Structure 1
């Protein structure tokens, strides 16, 4: 019998579908660490434009491969990507934790998993979770999210990295939002005011349109991975979440996405998770018993008149 495969979870889906949020939800339940697989988020900078998960949104869960490339002009090749991700996988496994890979660069994820030179399939047992949102619903949310990103400083952030005649086919400048604002920044730099506001509105609309196009391409790619390559993608449908707001949306997210995803990962981990969970419950049980004994002794001590107050 060969060596036992290591377990790896992938959280996949279109841009803005809630992948990062779900990965943190899972990591709060299973002893896990998260690996970014969005190729643009590998680069340092443009945190708003690239929509990197914030420190507060991570809730203390370790995240890997966010902002690790300093040079904005550097190209992240598929081989680079695979080397980065596999290195992080083994680091996390070495700590006895579950690697959760999350991101929307599906071509790179396919290259990682299907690469015949690395035999990923022979070394890792994979669980794929696909957060599904119907595209018309997702498009509406994307438009709102871009507006929110603008309010948070997207334009100012892009301005800081603006360079006339920059190459938008390389490095971090491939991010949606960089090229779209180029004409606006050139006009701004030249001191032209006549059509400046119109150019900004046009650029923001182009960011929305191109993000929707990206989501459509990702949706098609995920279907191809499932239908043509035979990947077993466990679908959790978040459409209803995006049609609600506030507490209703939060409850829907928990019931329709988090709980089913926990069950999927729990079944995937099988015996390993059961043993770990059993040990954890035993430790909690022992600790609870010790606390109960301590409280009981304290009560007896107080009743015997040994408590003088503070």
Structure 2
């Protein structure tokens, strides 16, 4: 057997702990799948599992990238992760992939992911070389989203319809594909979709490894949000401010050397630094009072809490939509197990023991349990996804623009939600009333123009 265990979930749910539990029990080694945790020297900001909690388990791709390096692109991560999986297996050990950058994880789990679906769309040159060269070759890639979208509509109108006009990253990537290959991304997407369907028809399987298990460590929303707020407080106590100050000082040093650091990529977008940057800048400028500085600091910390909650929600959304759909396409939703970490006091009973039993069944080639049978939360979430899949087949993504509300949505589902929403209905009624008034006044104006002037004889004499 060539088993692979993957652990996914929102930040703060306990993914790293479960990975260590399983690695300890089954002679495993862990591969980090979190882009920010690859950076060295920032264990608190990037939420790396403390050394004392790793139980001497080898952790690969953790704290291995310098501060100034770009975050790895998907193809680069996939190649390195697959190399490590082979290496770990060759030593008779169990590879366990864990992390919150779920498009990394998904690229490893599935074959031939499609363009635009968080996949192998960056295969080719090494990422650092590609990132530094594309805008040099094609300066338009550094333009505003509006300019990028105008160009994409010109060269690939199908992809232009797919993306939101403000989603500069996806628009830029579609243009990169066109410039680098000389072909429209939409054509490549269509070809890959045909290959994907043929793979399903041949029953070849879309999972890269047949013996794959995916554990989704999940928690009730209110409980998780409260836990994340508390986690931020703990990170500050552990030295978050000092790490963020180090990053700020690094930027100041580079600036004094005339070197501009792109803060829209790499570790600079990690939650914690960018929210505190205004505070450090204010301290350096020394124009605020002590009270004003403390108020600004508290405001920045609250921004970290908000950003952390939002990031957790986006991770869950990815699993519910992207990962679930990929598993559904592969007819492998039975390999996704939700582990309820809402009550950490019951960790052993709710997480450790059931997950170990499932892995044990896989390794012994015995039937694994129904994922919905593990907990009430698992049954609720998975049943809802199954009902949704039966009721509404997933169609290709397309953007829809409401001229009344001046709002653009991605996909038919979000479009229907918008059309049935209170704000749209109110705006539609208001627009209808305005149209009626305009029509009324136009009619009156036309009647006035057609009526005889007051000084004319109505008999025409």
TM-score class, shorter: 0.7 to 0.9
1:103 aligns with 2:99: yes
Aligned residues: 259
1:216 aligns with 2:313: yes
- In 1, the alpha carbon distance for the partners of 2:229 and 2:286 equals 29
Map of 1:13 onto structure 2: 9
SS of the equivalent of 1:20 reads: helix
CA shift at 1:112, angstroms? Answer: 2.4
- In 2, the alpha carbon distance for the partners of 1:38 and 1:132 equals 17
1:18-97 matches, cutoff 5 A: 18-97=14-93
Map of 1:126 onto structure 2: 212
Counterpart pick for 1:233 among 333, 336, 358: 336
Map of 1:187 onto structure 2: 282
- In 2, the alpha carbon distance for the partners of 1:120 and 1:6 equals 16
SS of the equivalent of 1:121 reads: coil
The CA deviation string for residues 3-45 of structure 1, in whole angstroms up to 9 with x for no partner, is xx52100011110000101111111111101111011111112
CA shift at 1:263, angstroms? Answer: 0.8
- In 1, the alpha carbon distance for the partners of 2:110 and 2:303 equals 34
The CA deviation string for residues 40-73 of structure 1, in whole angstroms up to 9 with x for no partner, is 1111121101010111010111111101112434
The alpha-carbon distance between structure 1 residues 161 and 9, as it changes in their structure 2 partners (threshold 3 A), is same
Gaps of 5+ in 2: 114-119, 121-204, 253-259, 367-461
TM normalised by structure 1 equals 0.79
- In 2, the alpha carbon distance for the partners of 1:26 and 1:17 equals 16
Contact 2:5–2:214 at 8 Å: present in 1 too? Answer: yes
1:270 aligns with 2:377: no
> Could you say which structure has the larger radius of gyration?
2
The alpha-carbon distance between structure 1 residues 90 and 75, as it changes in their structure 2 partners (threshold 3 A), is same
Contact 1:34–1:101 at 8 Å: present in 2 too? Answer: yes
Map of 1:306 onto structure 2: none
1:171 aligns with 2:258: no
1:151 aligns with 2:231: no
The alpha-carbon distance between structure 1 residues 71 and 11, as it changes in their structure 2 partners (threshold 3 A), is same
Map of 2:228 onto structure 1: 142
- In 2, the alpha carbon distance for the partners of 1:86 and 1:226 equals 19
1:260 aligns with 2:354: yes
The alpha-carbon distance between structure 1 residues 120 and 67, as it changes in their structure 2 partners (threshold 3 A), is farther
- In 1, the alpha carbon distance for the partners of 2:261 and 2:280 equals 12
- In 2, the alpha carbon distance for the partners of 1:166 and 1:31 equals 42
With CA pairs under 8 Å and 6+ residues apart, which has the higher RCO, 1 or 2? 1
- In 1, the alpha carbon distance for the partners of 2:30 and 2:341 equals 21
Map of 1:288 onto structure 2: none
Contact 1:46–1:157 at 8 Å: present in 2 too? Answer: yes
SS of the equivalent of 2:211 reads: strand
Map of 1:207 onto structure 2: 304
Contact 2:109–2:208 at 8 Å: present in 1 too? Answer: no
| CA-based RMSD | 2.0
CA shift at 1:168, angstroms? Answer: 2.6
The CA deviation string for residues 171-219 of structure 1, in whole angstroms up to 9 with x for no partner, is 1112101110110111111123322111111111111101100111111
The alpha-carbon distance between structure 1 residues 66 and 124, as it changes in their structure 2 partners (threshold 3 A), is farther
The alpha-carbon distance between structure 1 residues 220 and 240, as it changes in their structure 2 partners (threshold 3 A), is same
SS of the equivalent of 2:308 reads: helix
Gaps of 5+ in 1: 242-248, 273-310
SS of the equivalent of 2:364 reads: helix
